[in-house]
Chains A and B, each alone.
Chain A
């Protein structure tokens, strides 16, 4: 599904190159559930952002569904990204001014989905996550677990092939975290969504099919479960 070849990202500090990602090559197939682990500053989030096209590598080749991302223009990249990728954040990042319903609906608006169709899709999603009763509430009125649920629903609404999650359980207690992880596993198994998550927790990493360990911007180890 995606392939990174000799990807590096560094900043020029004085005369030295300060590497965040240092020559990483990585292939991920459709249907995988990959957990990226590593200590703070090892480049996990940066790697995830590069995969999600929110960030650009300094060097290297990046292919996504057979397209050379590193050669695409901003607009094309945006279109590609809009079509295939959903994002989940540690801090949920819901829009405070919008209700649960509207938050979930927003990506569809940006993809020019028709009103009636949007309605059906959002209703479907609310139903599936069992948050129909909360659809008119604002994010501030929800608990952290519920907010993350909305965040995931929003990430999935446009039916992405790839779900990227940056410490999705980082702000949650263990019970809420487990529920989210169960949900991820189900999405991966039943709906065939490819998932890449960044996590600190060994336990959460176990939910995946492959664990990649980073250290100082390099892949230290990779094991398939």
Chain B
């Protein structure tokens, strides 16, 4: 019996190549996208779970809120004291580790023989690191590898980079020309799905800070390993009590929290994390998209099969007359659906294999079949096979097997081809999804374009950014003089941080005319005097920093310095002053005393997701991280090459690492651009699948109306009027879809835009364009069928048997 079913199914498939292919391709594309997204989601959800202790590890975060702040700020960075102190004080803590991002704090130039690299992912951690976290050692011992202050553990690819095929164990790497670090372990490369990513892990003891136990100056990432059964929340509360007990505070509030390791990546709201965090919202959205796509593909399949019912009607009638029970027919059609599903899954998996490399590049995660556990993948495929077969096959099978033989055999199958309403609703559903995606794509595109073209108050075009982390100012100054001669260089300035993403948290704690407990948390950045001029930041009051201000901070011992501050408009307003009033007012910034010399027009110094907050720029020449070189934009390649040549003359051992400020700016919106990209891709896929469904419905409907069309033609209707007649039926469905979809899309995209402090307004024409596009595509899809019907010979369609 089964063999007979298979045979019929197979022949049916071959006989209707077009429809079979359409349903298979639609289903395959849907399945492929579903698996692609699932792979991505699996990767997101398995983040950090490879750690054996994942359940017991927490990240320590620190939150603070002053009386003058509206919202609490939470940072992932902590001072040096908490881990060693808490470990000793609280019995629930089994172990803890401090990690610093060495690459951010120092130049991180690592040398072995003639091989010199600037390392971007070098960390330093307490020796407990490899006991708490699970990284696979190829050579060396996890427990003892960081026990010495000159120990360093490297990954397999880093070992390859420096030592080729030689044994790396015991070799000495020279770090920043002063630390000789001995390789004491080689681990497998850190997986992409680890929140702590590194190429080199040095001993924390190499840093002078390891000797201090400070409760201020946060620069460490602290991870705590709790004892089994310990209550995370309770421990965090004890920690908070511990610090607040010792330090009475005025209106300020501060507290510790412990974030479970496995929640950090997707749920954290703490700033300054080791890496930009993911977003659980996107996980939900993509999960939803995956399911919707799968449903779309099934719906499409269902639509095409039922659309062909008229052709199958006779066969069903005959089989029934020959004694087929409904259940037997049902199994026959389910088997047919199963065969198509099987092929579709095969095609889908093949497509998937082809798409993995580019999808991995796109998401920045190494995604592939290896992301899955192999037996899970097989199980998922089997489950998918059954699910899709049932989802896509049940309705048509029930529908087809219920045909009354007496009616179908008379050749008037169309008279009982019910379910038209259902099929139409399904097409409407498909187009609701398509239109939703079209609208979303347009809005996301507009927003991304807006971000890129928005005047942020900083002229970031053609600004070259050089990493100069920790070089003495005298050297920086002479390098600056050297390059200022170079044609194409318009100016240069050094600063602590990148001006498009300023980090430092400070507070203004004394101010003229304010109470003694005044405290305003601000962002602040040490800059060179030419900072505002080089970056085109406008001043609304006061005058720019000059040589006098520079000398004041350069030559004086830090305790006696008089600083000149530049505040932005928001900062001044937060202090209750007009820009002009602020000039000359005395303030203190974390102990730095001085006067406000200028007020700068507001500019964006953080992501456009955030509002502009108070910022203070002040001259302090002790440590500069970046050199910003404004170039003319003509012959950029030559200019860069010339700067590079001079750099190597100045710093023979330092690699030349540069990027442009606008690249850095764009990189801040990578997640958003990725969202935009994903939206575009799925828009194309949903439109494609929906059109297949529409095409199926058009085939069905024109066949059903063939007689009506014949009669109309005999009565003198022209081709155009008939095409219009048929097409309008479908355009109507699309119009309904647009009406349903628009408010949903508006709502969804509006809430997406809420994440941006700087955002576009959603324009009405977006809906018109999206609707128009959908309607046009629908019209083109249907027109082939309707034109064919309109051109057919009425004599043929009206002849009755």
CB of A97 within 8 A of CB of B8, answer yes
For B321, give its contact among A87, A98, A102 (CB under 8 Å).
A87
Residues of chain A within 8 A (CB-CB) of B324 are 110
CB-nearest residue of chain B to A157: B322
> B551 at the A/B interface (Cβ < 8 Å)?
no
A108-150 interface code vs B (CB 8 A; 1 in, 0 out)? 0111100000000000000000000000000000000000000
Q: Are A110 and B321 in touch, CB under 8 angstroms?
A: no
* Given contact pairs A54-B406, A55-B406, A95 touches B323 in the complex (Cβ within 8 A): no
Residues on A with beta carbons closer than 8 Å to the beta carbon of B368? none
Determine the distance from Cα of A111 to Cα of B324 in the docked complex, in whole angstroms: 8
Complex CA–CA separation, A78 to B328 (angstroms): 13
In the complex the two chains form, what is the Cα distance from A95 to B12 in whole Å?
11
A93 near B323 (CB under 8 angstroms)?
Answer: no
Contacts of A49 in B (CB 8 A): 406
Contacting A at CB under 8 A, from B1-42, are 1, 4, 7-8, 11-12, 15
> Is the contact region of chain B dominated by helix, strand, or loop, or is it mixed?
helix
Contact partner of B328 (CB less than 8 A), chosen from A89, A105, A110, is A110
**Bound CA span A107–B12, Å:** 19
- The answer to whether B791 has its CB under 8 Å from any CB of chain A is no
Q: A93-B409, A97-B15 are in contact. Are A106 and B7 (CB under 8 A)?
A: no
- A102 to B328: give the CA distance in the assembly, Å: 16
Q: Which of B314, B317, B321, B411 has the most CB of A within 10 A?
A: B321
B318 within 8 A of A: yes
Instruction: Kindly list chain A residues whose C-beta atoms are within 8 Å of the C-beta of B11.
Output: 97-98
Which among B323, B325, B328 has the greatest number of chain A C-beta atoms within 10 A? Answer: B323
Q: B319 near A: Cβ within 8 Å?
A: yes
A82 at the interface (CB under 8 A from B): yes
A81 touches B318 (CB 8 A): no
Supposing A54-B405, A97-B8, A97-B15 touch, asked if A106 and B325 sit within 8 A by C-beta, the answer is no
CB of A165 within 8 A of chain B?
Answer: no
Given contacts A49-B406, A54-B406, A102-B7, contact A94 B323 (CB under 8 A): no
| Residues on the A chain within 8 Å of B317, using CB | 93
What is the bound-complex CA distance between A107 and B328, given in angstroms? 12
Interface residue count for A (Cβ, 8 Å)?
26
> Hey, which chain B residues are within 8 Å of A93, CB to CB?
314, 317-318, 321, 409
- Asked whether any CB of chain A lies closer than 8 Å to the CB of B801, the reply is yes
Which residues 383-402 of B sit at the A interface, judged by CB distance below 8 A? none
- Residues of chain A within 8 A of B322, CB atoms compared: 87, 106-107, 110, 154
> Using an 8 Å CB-CB cutoff, how does the interface string of B147-165 with A read, 1 for contact, 0 for none?
0000000000000000000
Q: Is the CB of A107 within 8 A of B323?
A: yes
Q: Please give me the residue from chain B that is nearest to A49 by CB atom.
A: B406
CA separation between A93 and B317, bound complex, in Å? 9
Any chain B CB within 8 A of the CB of A212? no
Contact call A89/B323, Cβ cutoff below 8 A: no
Query: Is A54's CB under 8 angstroms from B4's CB?
Result: no
A91 interface hit (Cβ, 8 Å): yes
Known: A81-B323, A82-B323. A95 touches B406 (CB 8 A): no
CA distance A54 to B319 in the complex (A): 12
Name the contact of B801 in the complex, choosing from A55, A91, A97, A109 (C-beta under 8 A). A91
Task: Answer yes or no: B315 CB below 8 A from chain A CBs.
Answer: yes
A198 interfacial by beta-carbon distance below 8 Å: no
1/0 per position for A39-69, CB-CB distance to B under 8 A?
0000000000100001100000000000000
The residues of B that contact A109 with a CB separation of less than 8 Å are 1, 4
| Interface assignment of A27: CB less than 8 Å from any CB of chain B | no
Q: Does A158 contact B (CB under 8 A)?
A: yes
Identify the A interface with B (CB < 8 A): 49, 54-55, 75, 78, 81-82, 87, 89, 91, 93-98, 102, 105-107, 109-112, 154, 158
New contact pairs (18) apart from A93-B409, A95-B318, CB-CB < 8 Å: A54-B406, A75-B325, A78-B325, A81-B323, A87-B321, A93-B314, A95-B319, A97-B8, A97-B15, A98-B11, A102-B4, A105-B4, A107-B322, A107-B323, A109-B1, A109-B4, A110-B319, A158-B323
- 18 residue pairs from A and B, CB less than 8 Å apart: A54-B405, A55-B406, A75-B325, A91-B409, A91-B411, A93-B321, A93-B409, A96-B15, A96-B315, A102-B4, A106-B322, A107-B322, A107-B323, A110-B319, A110-B322, A111-B323, A112-B1, A158-B323
5 pairs of A and B residues whose beta carbons are closest in the complex: A82-B323, A110-B323, A107-B322, A97-B11, A54-B406
